[in-house]
Amino acid sequence: MTTRWWLRRAGLGVLVVWGAATLSFLGLHLLKGDPARIIAGGGGAVSGQSQQILDQINAQYGFRQPLVVQYGRFLGELVTGDLGMSYQLNQRVTSVISDQLWSTVVLALGAAVLGFVLSLVLAVATAGRPRARSLSSTVELVLVSTPGFFVGILLLTVFSFRLGWFPVFGDDGIGSLVLPWLTLALPIAGTLSLVMREGLERALEQPFALTVRARGASATRLRLRHAVRHALLPVLTLSGWMLGALLGGVVVVETVFARAGIGQVAVTAVNGRDLPVVTGVVLVATIAFVVINTGLDALYRVVDPRLGSVAQ
Amino acid sequence: MSARTRLSRLAAVATGLVLLATTAACSSSSAPSGGSGDGSPVSGGEVTYLVDQTQLTLDPGVSPATVTGLVGRTIFDSLVVQSGPTEFKPWLATRWEISADGREYTFDLKPGVTFTDGTPFDANAVKATFEHIVNPASKSQYAASLIAPFESATVVNDSIVKITLTQPFRPFLQALSTPYLGIQSPKALALPASDYRPIGTGPFSFVSWEQQKDITLTRNPAYTSAPSNASHTGPAYLQTLRFNYVPEDATRYGALTSGQVQGTASVPPNRVGSLQSNDRFRVLKTELPGVNYNLFLNVKNGPTSDPLVRRAVQSAIDIPALVRTVYAGQYAAARSSLSPTTPDYDAAAESALPAYDPEKAKALLSQAGWTDTDADGYRTRDGRELTLTWPFLALINRDQRDVLGQAIQAEAKKVGIRIDRPNLDAGTYGNAVLKGDYNILDSSNARADADILRFSFASDQTFPQGGANVAQSSSPELDGWLHEAARTTDAAVAARDYALAQADVLRNGYLLPGYVMTSFVGTSSALRGVAFDVQGIAQFYGAWLAT
């Protein structure tokens, strides 16, 4: 991992961010319909609006200018890190996002950790044990194929409506986070443990497994200390997918559990053609993606030192 | 977006399951009834009320959202109160005079009232509120349209304000009585929109708002300006009132039935029965005044430009049966353009709507030249199939209108009419509406004044012109009634004009009435004194918590 490697990754990152911003700009501008009308309608409501208000909006946001001019202005603002004012919220985009980001990060990060731990426990406990394995993989298959919305409602019904252990909604403390975390983590845990168990089982069949046992290590020590390392590589590869699942999942979880967050902001902004906010959300997601992917690529080399020398 | 679609598709399944689980929970733990008498109101307590809608701004002068009206009603007082369908009583205005030409309204204002930020309520505040709403920079999405003929507000002295209109406008007092024209603190309005705080003279004052999450209000201890028709005077009973945004029907319902909140808006129709049968909860119901949820038939485009085809559509679909099935008997089928609770509703006009008669529908289609039938069973004329286009926008779908739509499609098919429902994005949908590129379009429009008929059917109120006339009706006779009713100062003239208009729009087949918009509020049995006003807005001024 030389300086050159990092520089190249940083350059690629900037390119990806630029591409994402441009795509979101084009996407919203090439959609049919008069943006001024949609903004005036406030979140997709379709109602007639007086010409005076439409003119006001068109003048304020320059929608009548050629697309190239609008794109130039958009890039200019982007470079200075100023995402401008939201069309609809009367707030700066940076403050809209920073207000909501924390709640979503806590949700997504917690769910990722929980999903990872759950899958690790499941995989280590069931790999190479036929009966436990078939039970576990059935459960995993059910989790993977059940939509998050349904899982959320089911968890709410049992643990909040009936047992009253957790509140339905609210942002106060761990209690209100348990069910959203679980909802988001279960489908992820399902997929990860399937993959992890495959990896574990393959590792356990390797000659080194026998060697380790022959040196006197217990079965558990073999699994945790030696085999898991091998099983982790494909899991790391899946992390990009996991980020996508988390980002998509928070929209559903935030709706079901009535939580404020980036998911809700994004849905409202897309519906209301709130370009500055959409761009902001896209950028946050892209940057998260770039940072995580770069971090993972670096991590690969730690988990499996062989990769480092090959890449060099 | 894809998550949204998936969500709604799954909602039906999950709803059923949750319903099973929660009804079981209710029946196993139903407490004995704590006496049926309401007792006398107790002061204090905190109430959380769930709403299914969010808003982009709390400013009632800007936001068109129903929830803004609901929250705004507790924060803002209006100049007048709508105490009956066509009756207005003093509120912040103690009396008023209307000039002979109907263009000047002079209001005497209640003395000694202050906004919750300490600013005195006076003629300046009224002027500032009006000027804020009509200022194009405010981008008012609703309030400004309610007072379209507004010309100017003049401060005569501190306690007298004169409003001048460009033309006589009978619905003006009704517009003033809505929360969207609640009087706001001029000091708060002077701040930039990004720092907006809703400051009124009302029974509750604003504490905090977290976008997409909750709005917290606290009692205004110095409240003295209750409307003249209120059940009590002085401060409200509840100490704290919180509105939480919970978009999922099942989540709202579960939160109420598990006792985590005291009230919720929009109880889904299929849950009303189980909530009513449980004495730990109450269901308040009101039919909203205004234009019902209707299917408007475009008179300017394609097959629906033929009155015979429009009559055929009206006869072909058994709306009462469909509405009963889809909404578990909780919504009433609409029999006219307006809901029965609208001022100047004319029940006699209902007879202008043809009864359900599929045979007559077929005969009308034959008469209109759609004589042949193709392999799919649809009528054809000159080799072209009878297809009506009804654009669908998932974003604004609510109340299972998509399900009702499918039932309507199936009924229409029985007489040989194909109804297409292309699923469009907001932009494409908006374009289609703008260009009149549809045969059927569905909408509803709440308003406690029959002037909503003008907004919905007058030829100068088409969608591109800022109105809601999506049937694109343009009849000089109808225009004449609607405009006269808006300008006259004679209530009897307005009532007669509106009666004629209600019959006319049905007879000409401008619409197929759907269902009467109905609001169900669910509360715990401890929450007392919540009531609907004439406009169908839940009122919290008289609400209190029984212990």
pLDDT averaged per 10 residues, chain B (length 547): 40 39 35 48 94 89 90 97 93 96 95 96 97 89 89 96 95 95 96 92 95 91 94 95 91 91 93 92 95 96 95 96 94 96 95 96 96 93 94 84 95 95 84 90 92 94 85 96 93 95 97 96 95 93 92
Q: Is B466–A157 a contact, with Cβ atoms under 8 angstroms apart?
A: no
Residue with more model confidence, A152 or B413: B413
What was the pLDDT predicted at A167? 83
In chain A, residues with a C-beta closer than 8 Å to the C-beta of B395 are 44, 271
Distance CA B400, CA A52 (A): 35
Distance CA B418, CA A295 (A): 56
Indicate the pairing of strand B418-420 with strand B214-219.
Answer: unpaired
Which among B396, B430, B466 has the least Cβ separation from residue A38? B430
In chain B, residues with a C-beta closer than 8 Å to the C-beta of A49 are 141, 466
Q: List, as ranges, residues 434-493 from B with C-beta within 8 Å of A.
A: 434, 461-468
Q: Is B258–A158 a contact, with Cβ atoms under 8 angstroms apart?
A: no
What was the pLDDT predicted at A45? 41
What was the pLDDT predicted at B547? 80
In chain A, residues with a C-beta closer than 8 Å to the C-beta of B25 are 161-162
Q: What share of chain A is helix, strand, coil (3-state, %, to 5)?
A: 80, 0, 20
Distance CA A24, CA A31 (A): 11
CB B164: neighbour CB atoms within 10 A? 15
Q: Is B211–A260 a contact, with Cβ atoms under 8 angstroms apart?
A: yes
Contact yes or no for A148/A252 (Cβ under 8 A): yes
In chain A, residues with a C-beta closer than 8 Å to the C-beta of B428 are 32-33
The 8-class DSSP code of residue A130 comes to H
Q: Is B7–A268 a contact, with Cβ atoms under 8 angstroms apart?
A: no
Q: Is A150–B10 a contact, with Cβ atoms under 8 angstroms apart?
A: yes
Comparing CA positions, the residue from B55, B183, B170, B120 lying closest to residue B486 is B170
Residue with more model confidence, A241 or B51: B51
Size of interface A-B (CB pairs under 8 A): 183
**Token output for A107:** 């949700």
Which chain B residue is nearest to residue A91, measuring alpha carbons?
B194
Distance CA B343, CA B450 (A): 6
**Token output for B354:** 């043809």
Question: What amino acid is encoded at B136 in this protein?
Answer: P
Average pLDDT over residues A37-65: 67
What was the pLDDT predicted at B11? 41
Its ipTM equals 0.75
Comparing CA positions, the residue from A180, A54, A25 lying closest to residue A108 is A180
Give the gyration radius of chain A's Cα atoms. 24
In chain A, beta strands by DSSP E: none
Domains of chain B, CATH where assigned: 16-286+519-545 (3.40.190.10), 290-516 (3.10.105.10)
Comparing CA positions, the residue from B106, B545, B521, B526 lying closest to residue B280 is B526
What was the pLDDT predicted at A308? 58
SS3 for B527-538 is EECCEECCCCCE
Residue with more model confidence, A310 or A88: A88
Q: Is A56–B18 a contact, with Cβ atoms under 8 angstroms apart?
A: no
